[in-house]
Amino acid sequence: MRETLAGTGVLIRLGLRRDRWLLPAWIAGFAATTYSTAVAGAELYPDVGSRVEAATALNATASLVALFGRVYDPSSLGALSLIKYTAFMAAILAVLMVFITVRHTRSDEESGRLELLGGGRLGRDAPLAAALAISFGASIVLGLVTAVSLAAGGLPAAGSIAFGLGWAATGMAFSAVAGVTAQLTASARAATGMSLGVVAVTYALRAVGDLAEPGPSALSWLSPIGWNQQIRAFAGDQWWVLALPLALCAALVPVALALRARRDLGSGLRQERPGPARGSLRGVGDLAVRLQFRLLAAWAVAFVVFGVVIGSLAGNVTDLLSSPNAQDLIRMLGGTQAMTDAFIAAEISIMGLLAAAYGLSAASRLRDEETDGHVEALLGTATTRPRWATSHFALALAGVAVLMLLAGVSVGAGAATVLADANQLGRVTLAAAAQIPAAWVMTAVVLAVFGWAPRLTGTVWALLLLFVALGEFGVLWNAPEWLMELSPFRHSPLLPLDSGAVGPLLGLTVTAAALAALGYAGWRRRDLAP
Amino acid sequence: MANVLEMVGVVKRFGPVVALNGLDFSVEAGEVHGFLGPNGSGKSTTIRLLLGMLRASAGSIRVLGLDPWHDVASLHRRLAYVPGDVALWPNLTGGEVIDLLGRLQGGQDLARRAQLLDLFDLDPTKKSRAYSKGNRQKVALVAALATDAELFLLDEPTSGLDPLMEEAFRGCVRELRNQGRTVLLSSHILSEAEALSDRVSIIREGRVVETGRLDELRHLTRTSVTADLAAVPAGLDALPGVHDVVVTNHRVSAQVEPSGLAPFMRALTDAGLVALTSQPPTLEDLFLRHYGAAVPVAAAGSSSGGTADA
């Protein structure tokens, strides 16, 4: 073994030991989801006719194509059932692999843990090699388990394997991306942020590419998530496309190693520049803004871009549904206004989920600040616990509200322009604002868990994912009604809003307030638990 | 003198682990109080209880006449704290952190701040990420020392400082004492507490096992004596109050209780004393006695260069 790789095996074992719950849980989650979808799909679309009808309607709806992609073989059960999994779930898988890779590279370096290990016989490239071995391995295992689950769910074996390998290769490609970004910046947060930015851009590239008629344009072929769709599992199984993500890995891993060789342990590529000798932070509120502003700004830009794209698509929602059947359907559903509303409502509720994810991550900063030991210095001053907790919590609540208002205004402005109807701006903004209380509930759950069981703060992410999955697939899975009712997002009123929306909104806001009060009560009476 | 800080029968449990087990502890106004104990003996837990970061399972705690759990803001405005393990925000500069902590504390003396930066030779424009452990500690020290607090709680404040900076720090603590402020200084570096403290408390397994002025505590322990003699007489170890006698050629070294010093010295003089080094008992000795280990001669006589090279 090369000297620079010495100790890789030890680090892999250490990493697997640290992830011994995380990885199996995620892999099992992906496997269970794909299995139940394969089974449910067979019940939903029992014959070729029902599949072709559903797939044709789907392919003709721009918003769904932008979000999920196309069904490349309308008669294929697998291609139709798994439409939400080739791009959407692949992106979630990419996010997971980014987290795992950064967790074992830059996070360990930033915290100084690698320095502790570096005193032993540890080569320079070992941490990166070990992190990639773990995330590549996890991707491959996840892909194989998925292939088995799909086949067990009754889908054709060849397609199942193609689908599983597609996920594996996509996971590996984004692990390699994270391996590169982890070398660029000294902060793990920034490294994760850059990688997630790549995921978002590649997702958007394929969204635009997939919308082109007749098929995907070159833009889709620029995106690793697009490649995963172009494997076309269950719709022709284009095996050769698997070579693209693997080639990307083969290209990026040497880049990451070369970057690592050019920098010192603990530093990024860019040297730290001196900063101000005097501080302008007036208190914990200022500090929270300083620590979180960049993240919020990045989210805000993404929301505005996403919003404008969605809004401007509102015009061709009904144009694309030109078949006589579809026109009948439109009339049945309440005309073009209702169709446009349904489209905008669907997109805005997705943005509501994303805003909740932001609120969750911003509020989780409370726990991060505690485990990092920063709280101790602050609470040693005249700052009280509630005041400090409010600094991050209020910022999270305000951030959620800002994001949804931006979403409303940008979607509304886009829709108003393409539909030549100025009223859209106001009513869409209102509809977006109506998603704020549900996202606040998730933000307040973080505070409640932080107050009473700080070590479990991270599990709120699992709760959010559960609610998202229930919203997307709950009906498909025959989930019990009470479980679906548990999700705050189910109670968010949708477009068109009427006076009936007031009750649920009030209920959600009161729930959020109660959870927050609960969280404050716990935080006031517990020990600091770094 | 009034007690600035008083803990009576304090118990702190973390689940099944008992960290403090009926701790009685007090610090008088205007003194520098050394708080000594090995790693894991409960020093930091005690300090966090005094700051209201942890809640006592039993017992009573008063700091500056206030309850640290309930009166956090009004209490903390009057004290300054330097954590044992200083963690800073990686993308803030040292200067920004000092100013933030100062403002949260209710203001700091700018002239003093500049003076301290100079004294500790700290560059405030560097990002915290780039600071070494010692420099992070300096940031916390400057922030604390530049405030106008009545009580300073310093948890192992010099563990990352080099000897030069340690000396600067000692100067600061002496200055605080001259101004009549109270300092609680936790440490496992005994020479530091010895050089600075008016009184010390020794904590072991969650209890304070000894408290007192250094000269009082010295009575509890033995003086380390090393002597070169013309001829070593027999029966030295039979003298009352003389322990751990080691003879190497013409050199004898022993640990002697205060009551045994006079007869021991007479015996040495009678044996033709050529050279003599005696060491007053160090905190090391106090410490080791409370932790049950015998005091090896070489360890006790560290500055005289290890005489028992047998």
Q: What is the DSSP letter of A334?
A: T
Shortest CA gap B55–chain A (Å)? 6
Mutation test of the interface with chain A: which of B100, B116, B133, choosing the one with the most A Cβ atoms within 10 A?
B100
Kindly determine whether residue A376 and residue B87, on different chains, have CB atoms separated by under 8 Å: yes
Q: Which of A187, A279, A287 sits opposite B90 (nearest CB)?
A: A187
Q: What is the DSSP letter of A241?
A: G
Kindly determine whether residue A274 and residue B126, on different chains, have CB atoms separated by under 8 Å: yes
Shortest CA gap A289–chain B (Å)? 13
**Cβ contacts of A168 within 8 Å, gap of 6 or more:** A139, A140, A142, A143, A144
Scanning every residue of chain A, which has its alpha carbon at the shortest distance from the alpha carbon of B153?
A380
- Sign, CA dihedral B45-B46-B50-B56, equals positive
Percent above pLDDT 70 for chain A:
95
The mean per-residue pLDDT over the stretch A312-318 comes to 67
Strand order in the sheet with B151-155: B79-82, B151-155, B182-187, B32-36, B199-204, B207-213
- CB of A111 within 8 Å of a chain B CB? The answer is no
Cα–Cα distance between A393 and A119 in angstroms, integer? 40
Residue B300 has a pLDDT of 36
Shortest CA gap B116–chain A (Å)? 14
Q: Round the CA-based radius of gyration of chain A to a whole number and report it.
A: 24
The residue type found at A125 is D
Mutation test of the interface with chain B: which of A370, A378, A381, choosing the one with the most B Cβ atoms within 10 A?
A381
CB pairs under 8 A between A and B: 122
The mean per-residue pLDDT over the stretch A5-25 comes to 90
**Cβ contacts of A220 within 8 Å, gap of 6 or more:** A205, A206, A209, A210, A226, A229, A230
Kindly determine whether residue A291 and residue B103, on different chains, have CB atoms separated by under 8 Å: no
Residue A306 has a pLDDT of 83
Q: Which residues of A touch B84 (CB under 8 A)?
A: none
Given pLDDT bands bounded at 50, 70 and 90, which one contains residue A318? Answer: low
Residue A409: which of A518, A298, A272, A305 has the closest Cα? A305
Kindly determine whether residue A377 and residue B90, on different chains, have CB atoms separated by under 8 Å: no
Kindly determine whether residue A383 and residue B104, on different chains, have CB atoms separated by under 8 Å: yes
Shortest CA gap B195–chain A (Å)? 26
Q: Which of B95, B127, B153 sits opposite A272 (nearest CB)?
A: B127
Cα–Cα distance between A115 and A101 in angstroms, integer? 18
Shortest CA gap A124–chain B (Å)? 20
Q: Which residues of A touch B101 (CB under 8 A)?
A: 377-378, 381
Mutation test of the interface with chain A: which of B51, B55, B72, B77, choosing the one with the most A Cβ atoms within 10 A?
B72
Q: Which residues of B touch A379 (CB under 8 A)?
A: 51-53, 72, 76
Residue B12 has a pLDDT of 94
- Sign, CA dihedral A528-A530-B5-B9, equals positive
Residue A65 has a pLDDT of 83
Residue A323 has a pLDDT of 56
Shortest CA gap B232–chain A (Å)? 50
Mutation test of the interface with chain A: which of B11, B20, B53, choosing the one with the most A Cβ atoms within 10 A?
B53
Q: Does A307 have pLDDT greater than 70?
A: yes
In whole angstroms, how far apart are CA A362 and each of A111, A368, A442, B220? 20, 10, 11, 57
Scanning every residue of chain A, which has its alpha carbon at the shortest distance from the alpha carbon of B72?
A384
Residues of chain A numbered 353-372 and touching chain B (CB < 8 Å): 372
Q: Which residues of B touch A521 (CB under 8 A)?
A: none
Q: Which of A110, A274, A385 sits opposite B125 (nearest CB)?
A: A274
Shortest CA gap B173–chain A (Å)? 19
Q: How many CB atoms lie within 10 A of CB A25?
A: 12
Scanning every residue of chain A, which has its alpha carbon at the shortest distance from the alpha carbon of B93?
A275
Q: Which residues of A touch B95 (CB under 8 A)?
A: 275-279
Q: Does A513 have pLDDT greater than 90?
A: yes
Cα–Cα distance between A341 and A496 in angstroms, integer? 7
Cα–Cα distance between B228 and B267 in angstroms, integer? 13
Kindly determine whether residue A279 and residue B92, on different chains, have CB atoms separated by under 8 Å: yes
Mutation test of the interface with chain B: which of A116, A376, A523, choosing the one with the most B Cβ atoms within 10 A?
A376
Residue B134: which of B145, B151, B152, B121 has the closest Cα? B121
Shortest CA gap A274–chain B (Å)? 5
Kindly determine whether residue A279 and residue B106, on different chains, have CB atoms separated by under 8 Å: no
Q: Which of A279, A377, A384 sits opposite B96 (nearest CB)?
A: A279
Kindly determine whether residue B96 and residue A283, on different chains, have CB atoms separated by under 8 Å: no
Residue B305 has a pLDDT of 35
Kindly determine whether residue A380 and residue B86, on different chains, have CB atoms separated by under 8 Å: no
Q: Which residues of B touch A110 (CB under 8 A)?
A: 90, 129
Average per-residue pLDDT for chain A: 88
Q: Which residues of A touch B130 (CB under 8 A)?
A: 272
Residue A468: which of A307, A335, A357, A326 has the closest Cα? A357
Scanning every residue of chain A, which has its alpha carbon at the shortest distance from the alpha carbon of B130?
A272
Shortest CA gap A442–chain B (Å)? 27
A138-163 b/e with 16+ CB inside 10 Å = b? bbbbbbbbbbbbbbebebbeebbbbb
- Backbone φ and ψ of A119, nearest 5°: -70, -25
Kindly determine whether residue A381 and residue B101, on different chains, have CB atoms separated by under 8 Å: yes
Residues B117 and A266 sit within 8 Å (Cβ to Cβ) = no
Q: Which of A275, A373, A528 sits opposite B127 (nearest CB)?
A: A275
Residue B280 has a pLDDT of 72
Q: What is the pLDDT along chain B (310 residues), one digit of tens a residue?
A: 588 999 999 999 998 999 999 999 999 999 999 998 888 889 999 999 999 999 999 999 999 999 999 998 899 999 999 998 888 998 899 999 999 998 888 888 899 999 999 999 999 999 888 888 899 999 999 999 999 999 999 999 888 888 899 899 999 999 999 999 999 999 877 777 778 899 989 888 889 988 888 777 766 667 888 999 888 888 888 888 888 888 888 899 888 888 888 888 888 888 888 899 987 766 666 667 666 654 343 333 333 333 333 3
- CB of A481 within 8 Å of a chain B CB? The answer is no
Kindly determine whether residue A380 and residue B51, on different chains, have CB atoms separated by under 8 Å: yes
Q: Which residues of A touch B110 (CB under 8 A)?
A: none
Cα–Cα distance between A516 and A529 in angstroms, integer? 19
The residue type found at A230 is Q
Q: Which of B89, B93, B127 sits opposite A291 (nearest CB)?
A: B89
Cα–Cα distance between A527 and B51 in angstroms, integer? 11
Q: Which residues of B touch A186 (CB under 8 A)?
A: 90, 129
Q: What is the pLDDT of residues A416-435, one digit of tens each?
A: 888 888 888 999 999 999 99
Q: What is the pLDDT of residues A176-223, one digit of tens each?
A: 999 999 998 888 888 888 898 899 889 888 888 887 777 788 889 999
Residue B289 has a pLDDT of 67
Kindly determine whether residue A373 and residue B81, on different chains, have CB atoms separated by under 8 Å: no
**What are the tokens at A473?**
């697939």
Residues A359 and A397 sit within 8 Å (Cβ to Cβ) = yes
| Reported ipTM | 0.78
Q: Which residues of A touch B88 (CB under 8 A)?
A: 374, 377
Q: Which residues of A touch B72 (CB under 8 A)?
A: 379, 382, 384-385
A214 preceded by a cis bond (ω within 30 of 0): yes
**What are the tokens at A210?**
């997939």
Given pLDDT bands bounded at 50, 70 and 90, which one contains residue A327? Answer: low
- CB of A190 within 8 Å of a chain B CB? The answer is no
